[in-house]
Amino acid sequence: MKRSHHRILTTHTGSLPRPSDLLEMMASQVDAEARAKRVRTAVTEVVEKQVSAGVNIVSDGEMSKPSFVHYVQERIQGFEGVSPAPEFNFDADFPGYMAWRSRGRPSLAASPFGSRPLCISPLIWKGEAALRTDFKNFKSAIGNLTIEEGFVPCASVGIIAQRFANAYYPSKRSLFKQSPK
């Protein structure tokens, strides 16, 4: 990690607002090549915005992912079906929240977390090709820009365990002790 004795370096958590046309492409059955091209340009745009805003440690903004955590089913084997609904009602407790949360993302309109998959078997990484594409897009976006450091964010095991129901592992502790395959 970069450190500075002359100024405070800035960064962010990683997930940045996706352009509305990209969200529409992600929600529809658009041509995969057209979507991939738009993801590449969106990554370039978001990196340039971060640099122009003075962010020192930039990310790809998670442009290839429809949301912060819901892409895991595409990258981790072991999720199927749909998790049970949460025990709380967003609209009852926070009127208008769901309309705000799902703006521009039709897949989130039915559930506060979109279609939340259920863990039904061992979790095994299967997203290497998508990760390589994320790295390639990010490296291309950085190009000759002057940045301190960069990163491609991903959902942690902890947030996945928090957001998606588990019907396979005997406990959350056993999930964290799983050895990688």
pLDDT at 110: 45
pLDDT per residue rounded down to tens, the chain (181 residues): 677 778 788 888 878 999 999 988 988 878 999 999 999 999 999 999 999 999 999 999 999 998 777 788 889 999 887 877 665 566 777 788 777 766 655 554 444 445 678 899 998 889 899 999 999 999 999 998 888 889 999 888 778 887 888 899 887 677 666 555 5
d(CA 52, CA 55): 8
d(CA 125, CA 154): 13
- Residue 5 belongs to some domain of the structure: no
- Residue 14 belongs to some domain of the structure: no
Query: Which CATH number does the domain housing residue 37 bear?
Result: 3.20.20.210
pLDDT at 87: 59
* Domain that residue 46 falls in: 20-176
d(CA 130, CA 136): 10
- Residue 8 belongs to some domain of the structure: no
User: Into how many domains does the chain fold?
Assistant: 1
DSSP state of 87: S
* Three-state secondary structure call for residue 57: strand
Q: What are the percentages of helix, strand and coil residues in the chain, rounded to 5?
A: 40, 10, 50
- Residue 13 belongs to some domain of the structure: no
- Residue 10 belongs to some domain of the structure: no
Instruction: Let me know: does 63 contact 46? Beta carbons within 8 Å.
Output: yes
- Residue 56 belongs to some domain of the structure: yes
Please list the alpha-helical segments (H only) found in 59-171. 72-75, 90-93, 97-101, 128-142, 157-163
- Residue 4 belongs to some domain of the structure: no
CB neighbour class for 130 (10 Å; exposed up to 12, middle 13-18, buried from 19):
middle
pLDDT at 179: 52
H or E element, residue 69:
none
